[in-house]
Amino acid sequence: MSIEKQETYAELELLLRQLSVWVKAEGRKVIKEGNYDITPSQFDVLQRIYFGETSMTNLALRLGVAKSTITGLVGKIKEHGYVSYSVCEEDHRVRKLEMTPKGLGLIRDVLERRVQFIRKLFSTIDPFLVEEFRKVLRIVNNTVQIQYQDKEETKE
């Protein structure tokens, strides 16, 4: 591969990484400004639960901390009303972690803040270019999704 091309990919990696850091920081402003009683680590856990990860073992794995740490973090966000336990209809011994309206509201506010930030950044750019940008992102995300799916299928 030519040096020029290699530099292009290195630049893309850097630009994507920086943008992602900024969007994340912007979204998390909601926590501070809304005076939410949740720390960044607790928010990380809440976000994972929102996206469907409810087992303690998987939460610990994904966030790379001890299971006891996760138990503590979940305890805190439960105490502050962001999540709750529901009892399984079929088996009353099974408890399932669920988002409360307060938890859902926070996550949605953060996502909305991120979208508004993206809007502010992209709204001054030539719509044709934005469309090309979206096209590339769609292709790239599709490629990853297909790869992940292949791997999952290979497992079986």
End-to-end CA distance of the chain: 36
d(CA 41, CA 70): 10
Question: What 8-state DSSP symbol labels residue 38?
Answer: -
Closest Cα to residue 134, out of 116, 122, 117? 122
Which amino acid does the sequence have at 122? Answer: F
The contact pattern for its own copies, residues 60-99, with x = CB under 8 A and - = no contact, is ---xxx----------------------------------
Rounded to 5°, the CA angle 70-72-75 comes to: 105
DSSP tag of 89: S
58 is a contact residue toward its own copies (CB under 8 A): no
- Taking the least distance from each CB to its own copies, the nearer of 96 and 138 is 138
* Residue nearer to its own copies on the CB measure, 4 or 89: 4
Binds its own copies (CB under 8 A): choice among 29, 95, 96, 134? 134
Contacting its own copies (CB under 8 A), which of 13, 37, 98, 150? 13
Q: Which of 33, 115, 146, 149 binds its own copies (CB under 8 A)?
A: 115
Q: Distance of CA 64 to CAs 47, 56, 67, 119, Å? A: 15, 12, 9, 33
Binding of residue 40 to its own copies (CB under 8 A): yes
Cβ 149 to its own copies, closest distance in Å? 13
Give min distance, CB of 107 to its own copies, in A. 13
Strand partners, 84: 98
Question: What residues does 83 pair with on adjacent strands?
Answer: 99
Contact residues toward its own copies (CB under 8 A) are 1, 5-6, 8-13, 15-20, 22-23, 39-41, 43, 63-65, 111, 114-116, 118-119, 121-122, 124-125, 129-130, 132-141, 143-144
